[in-house]
């Protein structure tokens, strides 16, 4: 029997001990130079290649390591440089495009398909002509060849996906025609290095719009196949859908498909598989932390083997979406740890499946996986049941009064009320305080006193600046999801389970493994403490059920909808306790609602129905006098406006500084009736917005929204910014609002007393 090859299409790139974060931040602070930064990048890349080689992977995807974002890297290599950056060079240019510099607005940051990763959106100008520089990529491939020889397969982001995800000032077909010579030149250079094949990553093929790009794909692949290199066309995150019939006819040697999402198997069953085209089956889920199910994966693999003799096995997508190694998680219950598969364990599963299909001994490995699942099931059944198991009647999903009625009962504020999204700077002192408490170096009383001092300082700063609705600063929270997960039953937590969100921002998603329950209030103490420092309203701050779901690794034994509703019921209890404690404004953040949207439009409504229902289940029990806010960021809302309306939040705050008012225009076109806070401060850039800039933005808002609809706030939380940036930025926001109020003769109303806010 011919051995079945194994492949990978990407690997974690942050370093097992987050070396890239440390190196980047050291470079930005001037504590290290470019040579030191690039040395760390090369070391992380080489360590990843070695891990894949030692696992026994036959064809190792290489060249995907990055200093910040792989899409940004390909923009830079192809000379897609907006005019505002062209006076810069080297790393100064790359990081300015990512983070902004000297008042220059950075590229827009948005979600990579339906994942939790953010990429930087390329801007392709009408006069763009590619100016290529592939030196860093070619050197990366050479290093990989020295490490793993002929097993190194370069990963190239395909031209159609790159352009389809860009802001284009010219037709995609025209932009493609300009860029293809650059891709052809790169392939010739790779051929000169003697690589066995090239992975051309084209995940845009799974989008619902892929049919629009059929001619573009045919044109691009015909041009690139002329290089003579074997091309592996890699797709992931969904099935090919309507594109299947022509995608399998493209001139490539191998087509990599995801068999963990969508229904590529059904497409093959109904339409067949072309003779001579190799299939790489993504059977190990690269976006979950759970082990494969052998009794599902093996029969599927065997069926695929009947369709094509040239079959490979691999992960469904890059392994950058999972942590490095579950073996490091010594604090988890043994039965739970045994059921987990991070990147290293998934490599082993890929090799195990390939060997099983090849007829090599694999029974003991497969049986250990089966035993792990059985032990986990026993552990789940021993867990506590939820306290709220009441019927979910329609009344539990609806506020008691419509918006116009309840708005009259809610707080009254001056025109253009000012607030922030929630978090304030997480300084080294704050992080140290939390770490000392977790290590047992200080007791609870000392820890809470330290947190309270930061809350008091932050309330005083906001009141001194003149903000209208205040926040407590979230100093007790390491992460907006992790904090709530730690307070709820049904979650587990890793020590080393970091994954990249964007650039130097890494998160450690919790793992939902059992039923969700709230044993006690989660945020009431900090809210009450904050409200004692001021008579102005303080927001209760919660993370919404869909965001907690989408930003966690979720159990796979029950539907996601059911998990979302469990989370919603826990948050509903929290809102009731906050109201009892005097909260009149409660923010339930749902930045991840849009990113969970399926990639195929025909599946959108089913997801939106239960996602919006989860938000409503969490918030519908709020009193009329309670103003419910939500925050949504870094996503295109045009596709989900009806869902946003159905959420029935009183106020929504949105990212606006990088998206060119697109979301604001969507809301205006839909005649959105409630209140909106379009962001005026890009918190992911070191630039400090000036009052005149902010005032100009507000005047633009007035072209789209009624004055009484507009709130003024940053794009997102302020935890990643230093105080020396935050204080002047917020000062400028208040100054701009004050000027605009005077110019428009807004009728300011007195700030109500603490009693009016339940203090």
Residues designated catalytic: 684
Question: If we measure between CA atoms, which residue out of 155, 205, 159 comes closest to residue 182?
Answer: 159
- In SS3 terms, 434-488 reads as HHHHHCCCCCHHHHHHHHHHHHHHHHHHHHHHCCCCECCECCCCCCCCHHHHHHC
Sign of the CA dihedral running 420, 423, 428, 433? positive
Question: If we measure between CA atoms, which residue out of 282, 242, 246, 237 comes closest to residue 602?
Answer: 242
CB count in 10 Å sphere of residue 443: 10
- In SS3 terms, 561-611 reads as HHHHHHHHHHHHHHHHHHHHCCCCEEEEECCCCHHHCCCCHHHHHHHHHHH
End-to-end CA distance of the chain: 76
For residue 255, what are the β-bridge partners? 233, 279
Distance, CA of 116 to CA of 120 (rounded, Å): 13
Distance of CA 732 to the CA centre of its chain: 30
Distance, CA of 255 to CA of 531 (rounded, Å): 59
Instruction: List the Cα angle 240/244/247 in 5-degree steps.
Output: 100
Distance, CA of 89 to CA of 95 (rounded, Å): 10
Query: Which letter, b or e, does each residue of 506-540 get, where b requires 16 or more Cβ atoms within 10 Å of its Cβ?
Result: bbbbbbbbbbbbbeebbbbebbbbbbebbebbbbb
**H helix intervals, 604-722:** 604-619, 641-647, 662-669, 691-704
Which residues make Cβ contacts (< 8 Å) with residue 346, sequence separation at least 6? 284, 285, 286, 315, 319, 322
Reduce the DSSP state of residue 124 to 3 states and report it. Answer: strand
Sign of the CA dihedral running 616, 622, 625, 631? negative
Reduce the DSSP state of residue 10 to 3 states and report it. Answer: coil
Cβ burial of 276 (10 Å; 0-12, 13-18, 19+) is exposed
Question: If we measure between CA atoms, which residue out of 243, 326, 239, 256 comes closest to residue 291?
Answer: 326
User: What are the DSSP calls for 230-279, one per residue?
Assistant: -EEEE--SS--GGGHHHHTTSS-SEEEEESSSS-HHHHHHHH---TT-EE
Question: If we measure between CA atoms, which residue out of 220, 216, 255 comes closest to residue 235?
Answer: 255
Q: Which helix (H) or strand (E) holds 120?
A: strand 118-120
Q: On the CB side of 501, how many CA atoms lie within 13 Å of its CA?
A: 16
Distance, CA of 683 to CA of 421 (rounded, Å): 11
Distance, CA of 126 to CA of 557 (rounded, Å): 50
């Amino acid at each position: 029997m011919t051995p079945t090859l194994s492949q990978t299409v990407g690997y974690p790139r942050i370093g097992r001990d987050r070396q890239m974060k440390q190196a980047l931040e050291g470079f930005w602070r001037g504590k290290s130079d470019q040579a030191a930064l690039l040395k760390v990048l090369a070391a992380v890349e080489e360590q990843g290649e070695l891990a894949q080689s030692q696992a026994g992977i036959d064809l190792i995807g290489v060249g995907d390591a990055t200093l910040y974002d792989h899409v940004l890297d390909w923009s830079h290599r192809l000379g897609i440089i907006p005019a505002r950056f062209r006076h810069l060079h080297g790393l100064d240019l790359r990081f300015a495009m990512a983070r902004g510099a000297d008042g220059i607005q950075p590229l827009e940051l948005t979600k990579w398909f339906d994942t939790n990763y953010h990429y930087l959106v390329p801007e392709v100008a009408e006069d763009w002509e590619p100016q290529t520089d592939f030196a860093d990529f070619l050197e990366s491939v050479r290093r990989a060849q020295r490490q793993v020889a002929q097993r190194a397969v370069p990963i190239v982001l395909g031209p159609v996906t790159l352009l389809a995800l860009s802001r284009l000032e010219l037709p995609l077909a025209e932009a493609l025609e300009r860029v293809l010579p650059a891709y052809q030149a790169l392939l010739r250079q790779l051929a000169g290095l003697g690589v066995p094949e090239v992975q051309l990553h084209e995940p845009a093929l799974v989008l619902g719009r892929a049919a629009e790009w059929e001619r573009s794909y045919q044109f691009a692949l015909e041009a690139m196949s002329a290089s003579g290199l074997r091309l592996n066309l890699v797709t992931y995150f969904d099935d090919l859908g309507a594109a299947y019939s022509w995608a399998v006819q493209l001139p490539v040697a191998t087509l990599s498909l995801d068999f963990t999402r969508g229904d590529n198997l059904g497409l093959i069953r109904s339409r067949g598989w072309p003779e001579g085209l190799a299939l790489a089956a993504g059977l190990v889920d690269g976006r979950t932390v759970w082990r494969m199910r052998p009794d599902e994966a093996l029969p599927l693999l065997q069926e695929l083997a009947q369709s094509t003799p040239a079959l490979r096995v691999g992960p469904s997508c890059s392994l950058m979406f999972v942590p490095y190694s579950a073996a490091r998680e010594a604090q988890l219950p043994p039965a739970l740890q045994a059921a987990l598969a991070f990147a290293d364990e998934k490599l082993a599963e890929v090799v195990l499946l390939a060997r099983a299909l090849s007829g090599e001994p694999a029974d003991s490995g497969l049986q250990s996986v089966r035993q792990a699942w059985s032990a986990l099931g026993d552990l789940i059944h021993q867990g506590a049941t939820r306290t709220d198991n009441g019927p979910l009647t329609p009344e539990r999903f609806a506020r008691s009064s419509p918006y116009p009625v309840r708005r009259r009962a809610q707080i009254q504020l001056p025109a253009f009320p000012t607030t922030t999204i929630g978090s304030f700077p997480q300084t080294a002192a704050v992080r140290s305080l939390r770490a000392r408490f977790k290590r047992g170096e200080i007791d609870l009383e000392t820890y809470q006193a330290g947190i309270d001092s930061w809350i008091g300082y932050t309330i005083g700063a906001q009141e001194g600046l003149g903000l209208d609705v205040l926040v407590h600063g979230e100093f007790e929270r390491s992460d907006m999801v992790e904090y709530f997960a730690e307070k709820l039953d049904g979650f587990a937590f890793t020590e080393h389970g970091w994954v990249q969100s964007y650039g130097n921002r890494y998160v450690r998603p919790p793992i939902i493994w059992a039923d969700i329950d709230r044993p006690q209030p989660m945020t009431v103490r900090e809210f009450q403490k904050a409200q004692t420092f001021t008579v102005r309203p303080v927001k209760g701050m919660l993370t919404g059920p869909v965001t907690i779901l989408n930003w966690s690794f979720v159990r796979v034994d029950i539907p996601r909808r059911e998990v979302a509703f469990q989370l919603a019921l826990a948050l509903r209890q929290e809102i009731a306790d906050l109201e009892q404690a005097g909260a009149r404004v409660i923010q339930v953040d749902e930045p991840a609602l849009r990113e969970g949207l399926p990639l195929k439009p025909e599946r959108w409504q089913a997801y939106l129905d239960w996602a919006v229902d989860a938000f409503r289940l969490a918030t519908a029990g709020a009193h009329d006098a309670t103003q419910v806010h939500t925050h949504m960021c870094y996503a295109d809302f045009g596709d989900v406006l009806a869902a946003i309306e159905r959420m029935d939040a009183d106020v929504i705050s949105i990212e606006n500084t990088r998206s060119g008012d697109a979301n604001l225009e969507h809301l205006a076109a839909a005649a959105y009736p409630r209140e909106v806070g379009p962001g005026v401060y890009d918190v992911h850039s070191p630039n400090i917005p000036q009052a005149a800039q902010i005032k100009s933005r507000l005047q633009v808002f007035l072209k789209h929204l009624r004055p009484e609809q507009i709130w003024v706030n940053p794009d997102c939380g302020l935890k990643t910014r230093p105080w020396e940036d935050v204080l002047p930025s917020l000062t400028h926001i208040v100054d701009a609002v004050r000027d605009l109020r005077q110019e428009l003769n807004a009728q300011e109303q007195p700030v109500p007393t603490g009693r009016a806010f339940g203090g």
